[in-house]
Every structure is written in structure tokens, then in C-alpha cells.
Amino acid sequence: MYFDIKNEIEARKLPDLFKFSDGTDVNSDNVSKRRMEMLEILQKNVYGYVPDAPDKIDFYIEKTDDTRCCAGKAIYKEIRITFPINDSEFSFPVKIMMPKAVKKAPFAVIANFRGTLPDEYIPSEELIDRGIGFGVFCYTTDITSDDNDFFSGISGKIYKDGIRKSGSDCGKIAMWAYCASRVLDYAINCEDIDREKTAVAGHSRLGKSALLASACDERFKYVFSNNSGCAGAAVSRGKKGETVKNITDAFPYWFCKNYVSYAENEEKMPCDQHFLLAATAPRKVYVASAAEDFWADPLSEYISCIEAGQFWRLYGKDAFPYIDSIPKPGDIICGSNIGYHIRSGVHFLSRYDWNAFIDFFLKK
């Protein structure tokens, strides 16, 4: 069935990436200023301000095993990352796996639902066989609980009394994103890592966090967001499934308090989620949808790629090579800067998703 995607996009009335808030035009000379403005708008209105990177950071190797991990093809390490924050200190564990066969390996920081390996969302051996190293942490037990408790973990360091005062104080997605950058602090200084092939990856709520992490931290050269939906890759205007109202009713603590004012009021938002994808430009973005993930809304994720994709032109790079219809399960649409696929099935981070992302990640 023919579907006019251009009409659909026009009907969404998305805010213009090519105009500054004061109405002046964005061009290739001032594009980095626009990127900073978009980051500011997103943090102020959606996620809250991500804390500054710490002045110092320590890494302590707690355990190493290079004998039997992935049939002996990988080196496994458990490290502890510690850094000062607000006159106090925060520390969390990360599990690392590096392929022995590669001198300088591409490296993915994976924010995950669990911190142990093996894990159903992480095909360790496939990653190792394709020469990719990775570091994983558990977003709740290692960082901060997935609830309204702002005393828990790093939240209690950021908010000493467990209370957020201003409307733009950061929520938990920003904290998970912040800690993904701390894992990169470790990786970036390792001899066996390729600094030009660094990625941050996550599924669903952690896909939202991964997108924010890469938008804020230019050391991530790639981001992989899987089924991230509302407040992730999917544009909110005209979105089906989960809306800003649904997500702020159920998970208000993921965001800054200002975001609530856009519930059933999306048209007033000074941004939409294509800003989040565009804020990673000129680096690379991969978005994965699942056909039966109606809550996330694959079409709104796809539209976001199309719209954000235009932004790469300002950097003299290719836009997203979209097709003028709704992608069907099995379609993989990869440009050199944005990749997208939709697979059959439900909300899940599958091997199919990883393999498609890895192809994009390893492309020369």
C-alpha cells in the first residue's frame, strides 16, 4: 500500500532544525552552535542537565580472567570506577570483555538491565567474534534505582537531600547517560581500544539514555538505540502508542520536572526527538525498531531518522537515504551516517538487532 511519508511528516509540524530559537538560519558555519542550542533545549525541557564530567576518575581492576571467557577468545575484567561528585564520591562496577584477536578493538558501552554476563540482551560471543570489545553495567543496582527514590545510588550524591528543586534538575535517564560516559573515560585510555570506533548502546529506556549520552559526549562516535520509542528516537508530535502524558505519568523521575508541562501539549515543546538524534551529528546514529512494538511506534522512530538526517548535510555529509513509504519488517536502511532497521517481532534486544548494528558499526 502506498503511503505518502512526506505528507505524514508535514502533518506532524515538527520544530525546524534549521532555525535557531530566535528565528535566524542555521548554516554550515554556525551548525555547532545550533547543536549546542539543541542540547540546551533538550536538557532544560526533557531530561534535565547532565552533570559535568568529574575532574578526576579512578579505575581499579578487581578481577581478570583470560582463560575461558568465550572459549578463551576474550579477556574478561571486572573494574570499579570511582570519581568525586558534590564533595562526595561515587563508585560503580563494570564488566569488560575484549577480543584477544584484535590489537585495537572497536568498543561499545552497554547500559543494560542487568550487570552480569552472559545476558539475553548481549550476544557476547558474536561481539567478540566480530572483534568488538564492550563494557556493561546494570542501570539500577550499579547506578540508581528505577523509581522515584532520589537518595538511591548516584542520585543521593547529586541531590544530597534526595529532593530535586528546580524544574530542570536532571532525572534518571540523564544519570544513566552520565555513567555511560564514565565507562568511556576508562575505555578511551586503554591501549587496546580504537578511539574512532566507540559506541554507546541501549534498549528501550536505556536506548533513550544511550541517545542522550552520545548527544552530550562527542567522544562516542556511534550510538545504537534499540526500540527506544517515546522520549527516545520517536518523535512525540503525532506519535501513536506511548505519549508524553503516558510516560510522565508512569515514569516522571526519568525526566526533569519541566517535561510534565508538555503532556497533552506536545505542540508547545521547543524541540522534538529528532533534535536528540541530530545532536549526535556529525557522528553516527543507528536506530532499530520492532514491527510489533506499537508502544514505541516504529513509524515515529523512522520519521525522526528522516528529519534528523537532513542535519548531517550542514556538515557536508549525506542525509538519511529514506524510502518514500513505510519500511516493512526485514528492511535495513543504512546511509553512511544514519542506519535504521525494522525487524519482525516484539519489544526486545535481539541478535538480529545487534548483527545489523554491528554491520553498520564496522563499515569502513
**Given the rule CB under 6 A, which residues bind ligand GCU?**
204-205, 229-230, 242, 247, 250, 295
Concerning whether 325 is annotated as a catalytic residue, the answer is no
CB of 114 to ligand GCU, least distance (A): 13
**How is residue 100 written as a grid cell?**
584477544
Residue closer to ligand GCU, measured from CB, 135 or 229? 229
Residue closer to ligand GCU, measured from CB, 163 or 250? 250
Residue closer to ligand GCU, measured from CB, 176 or 361? 176
How far apart are the C-alpha atoms of 186 and 326, rounded to whole Å?
41
CB of 27 to ligand GCU, least distance (A): 35
CB 303 within 8 A of CB 7: no
Q: Name the catalytic one among 204, 209, 228, 289.
A: 204
CB of 247 to ligand GCU, least distance (A): 5
Distances, alpha carbon 212 to alpha carbons 240, 245, 344, in Å:
22, 20, 26
**How is residue 139 written as a grid cell?**
542501570
Concerning whether 347 is annotated as a catalytic residue, the answer is yes
**How is residue 87 written as a grid cell?**
564533595
Residue that the C-alpha cell 552497554 belongs to: 110
CB of 219 to ligand GCU, least distance (A): 25
Residue closer to ligand GCU, measured from CB, 295 or 352? 295
Q: Beta partners for 77? A: 64, 96
How far apart are the C-alpha atoms of 169 and 163, rounded to whole Å?
10
CB of 72 to ligand GCU, least distance (A): 34
Residue closer to ligand GCU, measured from CB, 128 or 200? 200
- Which residues are known to be catalytic? 204, 347
